[in-house]
């Protein structure tokens, strides 16, 4: 729980630092491999946005597909989060490093790959009135 609140705090500070005070919609992209409870994050964001005197209408938290890159052959591939079983998802959520136990490079079979996208927050965007 503390994790989502710390994240929400960082997001709100980031928005403030951009000089943004109001917007129609806040879009936050989170990596599918990150252990984020989206409901808690949304709740925390709403509370903090209010506390900081910002006016942001909707909050949309979007899950980003992980992008992996093989260090051995350079191949890049995406994981479709919906293709991951619940067990695998949970285990990776709790320990992202456990991804190496479940996946390997589809081209050369190496388990020496990096997570290019799919962890942390990759985008924070405030959309204006249209």
Sheet containing strand 55-64, edge to edge, reads 55-64, 22-31, 121-127
Task: Out of 13, 14, 110, 123, name the contact with Zn ion by CB under 5 A.
Answer: 110
Q: How far is the C-alpha of 36 from the C-alpha of 40, rounded, in Å?
A: 8
Tell me if 65 sits within 8 A of 81, measured CB to CB: yes
Q: Is 94 exposed, middle or buried (0-12, 13-18, 19+ CB in 10 A)?
A: exposed
> Residue 73 or residue 95: which is nearer to Zn ion going by CB?
73
Minimum CB–partner distance for residue 79 and Zn ion (Å): 15
> Residue 33 or residue 105: which is nearer to Zn ion going by CB?
105
Task: Out of 95, 108, 114, 123, name the contact with Zn ion by CB under 5 A.
Answer: 108
Tell me if 62 sits within 8 A of 27, measured CB to CB: yes
What x-and-dash track marks residues 76-105 binding Zn ion by CB under 5 A?
-----------------------------x
Residues at the contact surface with Zn ion, assessed by CB under 5 A? 70, 72-73, 75, 105, 107-108, 110
């Amino acid at each position: 729980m503390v994790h989502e609140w710390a994240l929400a705090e960082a997001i709100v500070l980031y928005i403030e630092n951009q000089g943004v005070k109001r917007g129609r919609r806040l879009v936050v992209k989170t990596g599918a491999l990150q252990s984020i409870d989206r409901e808690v994050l949304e709740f925390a964001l709403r509370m903090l946005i209010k506390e900081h005197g910002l006016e942001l209408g909707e909050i949309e938290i979007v899950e980003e597909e992980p992008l992996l890159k093989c260090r051995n052959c350079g191949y890049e591939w995406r994981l479709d989060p919906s293709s991951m079983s619940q067990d695998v998802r949970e285990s990776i959520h709790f320990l992202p490093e456990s991804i190496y136990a479940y996946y390997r490079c589809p081209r050369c079979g190496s388990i020496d790959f990096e997570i290019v996208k799919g962890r942390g927050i990759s985008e924070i965007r405030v959309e204006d009135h249209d």
